[in-house]
Amino acid sequence: MTRELIIQPDAEADISQAFDWYEAQVPGLGSEFLLVLDAAFNSILRNHLIYPEVHKIVRRALTRRFPFAVFFIVEEARVVVLSVFHVKRNPDEWKHRL
């Protein structure tokens, strides 16, 4: 069954901020971040069960190369991304997005 990927507005803002920061550091690095994030999203859609539940029904996928975690929930027909969160931030901050 193919699920639809839904990225919540807060998660889109997380992605945009990270992209802008990486692009400011090294031109092109933001685009690499987006490619890594796209790979994480595809992995989640292929097999969400490999990612641990970290809070109630929320699962977490860690990205490669960049220190970010994707927090998401799985519904019958879709995967909802709640946050794309830098792992050095307080982990309780994303929980208000539930």
Q: Is residue 94 part of a domain?
A: no
Q: Is 96 domain-assigned?
A: no
pLDDT digits (tens, 9 = 90+) for 42-95: 999 999 999 999 988 999 999 999 999 999 999 999 999 999 999 887 766 666
- Domain containing 79: what range? 4-89
φ, ψ at 74 (rounded to 5°) = -110, 125
pTM over 0.85: yes
**pLDDT score of 64:** 95
Residues 6+ apart with CB under 8 A from 93: 85
Number of structural domains the chain divides into:
1
Comparing C-alpha atoms, which of 67, 72, 69 is closest to residue 7? 72
